[in-house]
Structure 1
Amino acid sequence: MSQRVASVETEKQHKPEPQPRRRRRRIQILPYALITPLMIFIVGLALVPAGFTVIQSFFTVNPMDPPTRFSGLDNFTSLLNDATILSSASNTVIYLVVGVLVSTVLGIFMAVILHRNFRGRSIVIAVMILPWALPGVVEGLVWGGIYDPNSGLLNSVLSSLHLIDHYQVFVGQDHLLTIILIELVQVWQMTPLSALLILAVLQVIPSELYEAARIDGCSTWKAFCRITLPLARAGIAIAMVQASVATLNVFDQPYVLNGAASNGASIMMQAYFISFQNLNFGQGYALSLLITIVTMAISLLVVRTVYRKVEF
């Protein structure tokens, strides 16, 4: 009996004292209090405008044709039957293919180089990120000077190399060349971010894998194909998604370099023209909704195709 009493007293001594209810409630409320400002910000600046866009896309919203009234799918059918919209959509497809492929390939190449330790590596990374940090309008102005038909750097270099016998107009003449030259400006902006995303994944790959491959007689190219690329697919997928989103929403570069010309207009430019020049906000909302759906579908397709979960 005495042993049982002693054991009970020992358990009472080691049993932690219950915390005050107010303190436990404060600990439970703290995480929610910390994320509340972010949730308010997301709801106010993202979800509310998105819901408003979805609703208004089914209405005729035009200050030149009042009142606002329900129109069903008329906005969407009008857009799909508009030759200008279809032409801009085809331009955007070319922007998408060129932009994603070139920025991803260059991003992988730059990430592999930056993965090696060399003197001045941090400085190179800092300088490399500058194009991504610049606004699209500034980039358009800078490259507009390069493409300038009268005193541009591109004409000067090609003329000095005797590749052309006179200065030429590059942007605005040939349809495909115009799109490629405009998209190269956006590639110049997107590639640094793609390189950093892929570099972050490369730094996680264990160096022992490369050492084992080298001992087994694997060449540098085979190690790149069989170790680097498969294990970096997560970073490559994220880089391709961000490039796809940026390209599908390209506006600044084509507008600054080529104006409102149809041979280089993107689908986002048409959303701007419809909404703020034609004042047909209903169709503008509908086109924005279609762009959002296409962007989400392409991003999901890229993730499902490229992304693979890797465990070391």
Structure 2
Amino acid sequence: MSAGLAEVTRPEVPGAEPSARRRHRPSRSGPLAYVLVAPVLLFIAGLALVPAVFTIVQSFFTVNALDPPTRFSGLANFRNLLADDAIRSSMANTLLYVVIGVALSTVLGVAMAVLLQRPFRGRSFVIAVLILPWALPGVVEGILWSGIFDPNAGLVSSVLGDLGVGGDHLLLGQDRLLTIFLIELVQVWQITPLSVLLVLAALQLIPDELYEAAQIDGCSRWGVLRSITLPLARPGIAVCMVQALVATLNVFDQPYVLNGAASTGATVTMQTYFVSFQNLDFGQGYALSLMITVLTLVGSLIIVKAVYRKVEL
């Protein structure tokens, strides 16, 4: 009986490769692929790498139009910057901008993305309107909000007057914390739309089957948000926080337009402008730019390490 059984084998098609060999066959890319990519690489190198290397090198030199010639100074630029009271004050201000901006834009971005997660009538219109603050230049936003914060005819002054709150209603320039908070609100108004889009893109990748299973199990909305939505949206939240960190560390337009050169709201980026183009000390300007770049990289790595998690479904 067993001798009569024939072994069933899959017939091979003449000239066809085995499936295993076909799956593991290495892909061959000719020189054309490198030729096509070369212009992009050259553009990136010319736009980013060359200025970065130039900034790093020049930060260790004395480059001052009022004190020629250019000469090597080692760490003198960094020591002089850290000993400057105006620089230290701007660093403390920038830290407050970062804390307020990253926290508010992330919380608002997650909340608004969750509200926009499910399709509803008019959602496309809401998203289009939401993008407008992000599309406006920072200088234009500063001018718009300067009218709102105007102590004589601004919206805030009118509201405070209607509420019977006394005082001159001069909001910017007097109290340091209030000035930084109000200026950062303007920047949060600008960067939050991008945070919403980044988190919303992550939410769209979550399968509906997970929500259906949670609903069958009787999970509450808060439980769904805490156990499904937020954990699976962590990659988008991490990117959202990184872009907020980069924007707040490099904030310039809003403080300069709303508060001028006053020390109550000055940032490190503003001090870079003052040192380089008012004092004509480009060596210290390069050094301060390098410090901002290093802080941005370190902060971004910390956020990615703490928040980002690979999602496996």
- Give TM-score, length-normalised by structure 1: 0.90
CA distance in 1, matches of 2:53, 2:301: 21
In structure 2, the residue matched to 1:137 is 139
CA distance in 1, matches of 2:81, 2:16: 71
In structure 2, the residue matched to 1:169 is 170
CA distance in 2, matches of 1:84, 1:67: 26
In structure 2, the residue matched to 1:146 is 148
In structure 2, the residue matched to 1:105 is 107
Instruction: Indicate yes or no: 2:178 matched with 1:181.
Output: no
CA distance in 2, matches of 1:47, 1:281: 19
Secondary structure at the aligned position of 1:235 is classed as helix
Q: Deviations over 1:244-265 (max 9, x none)?
A: 0010000000000000000100
Instruction: Indicate yes or no: 2:312 matched with 1:303.
Output: no
Instruction: Indicate yes or no: 2:79 matched with 1:93.
Output: no
In structure 1, the residue matched to 2:223 is 222
Q: Deviations over 1:162-194 (max 9, x none)?
A: 152455110111110000000000000110000
CA distance in 2, matches of 1:134, 1:52: 31
Superposition pairs for residues 184-223 of structure 1, below 5 Å? 184-223=185-224
Structure 1 pair 163–211 and aligned structure 2 pair: CA distance change class (3 A): farther
CA distance in 2, matches of 1:15, 1:104: 55
Structure 1 pair 304–15 and aligned structure 2 pair: CA distance change class (3 A): closer
Kept in 2: contact 1:159–1:167 (CA 8 A): no
In structure 2, the residue matched to 1:156 is 158
Secondary structure at the aligned position of 1:173 is classed as coil
In terms of fraction of residues, the more helix-rich structure is 1
CA distance in 1, matches of 2:82, 2:274: 16
Superposition pairs for residues 1-312 of structure 1, below 5 Å? 14=15, 28-160=30-162, 162-165=163-166, 167-312=168-313
Q: Which runs of 4+ in 1 moved over 6 A?
A: none
Kept in 2: contact 1:182–1:253 (CA 8 A): yes
2:188 aligned partner, one-letter code: V
Superposed displacement of residue 34, structure 1: 2.2
Secondary structure at the aligned position of 1:129 is classed as helix
CA distance in 2, matches of 1:128, 1:30: 42
Q: Deviations over 1:258-289 (max 9, x none)?
A: 00000100010001100000000000000000
CA distance in 2, matches of 1:294, 1:14: 60
Kept in 2: contact 1:159–1:166 (CA 8 A): no
CA distance in 1, matches of 2:277, 2:225: 49
CA distance in 2, matches of 1:211, 1:186: 38
How many pairs were matched up? 291
1:53 aligned partner, one-letter code: T
1:185 aligned partner, one-letter code: V
Deviates further, 82-91 or 166-175: 166-175
- Give TM-score, length-normalised by structure 2: 0.90
Contiguous gaps of at least 5 residues in structure 2: 1-12, 18-27
Q: Deviations over 1:34-53 (max 9, x none)?
A: 22221121111110000000
Secondary structure at the aligned position of 2:309 is classed as coil
CA distance in 2, matches of 1:259, 1:195: 30
CA distance in 1, matches of 2:206, 2:256: 41
Indicate the RMSD between aligned Cα atoms, in angstroms: 1.6
Q: Deviations over 1:84-125 (max 9, x none)?
A: 111000000000000000000000011001111111100110
